[in-house]
Structure 1
Amino acid sequence: GSLDALGSQPIHLWQFLKELLLKPHSYGRFIRWLNKEKGIFKIEDSAQVARLWGIRKNRPAMNYDKLSRSIRQYYKKGIIRKPDISQRLVYQFVHPI
């Protein structure tokens, strides 16, 4: 795809989610760690997270349905999984950093 506004490399969704998680003062209302050591996080405001991702990717029609489909693709790739105790909007990075 085309370069984003910052002229940097195209960003992957999982990188973007991690970016939001690293700035709790800005985005803690939308997404937050439940267990940072284990890489478990919760999306508190799915509409806002999808909106921010749409802005970043320059896709105004982005919604949580599309975003969650991307997250499910990561299950197969071993990037994100559902935690052992499955909850709505709770996900886990397979290799937490």
Structure 2
Amino acid sequence: MKILTTKQAAEMLSISVSTLRALVRAGEIAYVPRGVGTVRQHMGFDATDIEDFIKRSKVRLVPRVEPTHTPKTGSFLANRVARLAAKAARKTLK
């Protein structure tokens, strides 16, 4: 088990140290307390925890699915133009 420093773990994730600390505060990544920090606790990170976080964070895009229905009326833009024309016609009648 290799313990990484905060900077090494952030570099492994390609994020800043402050972002890494935010992930720790959110409970997304576990850390190992190191030393006796008085102002800011020193954190160590297990390399396997970082790798597990990467695996959990992977996103797979789903291919776009075409709609199975066709609109009964024209497109959104055509409907909008028709509504605006009807609104203008009502104004001229007043």
Q: TM exceeds 0.5?
A: no
Structure with the largest fraction of strand: 1
Which entry has the higher C-alpha Rg, 1 or 2? 2
Which TM-score applies when normalising by structure 1? 0.26
Structure with the largest fraction of helix: 2
Which TM-score applies when normalising by structure 2? 0.26
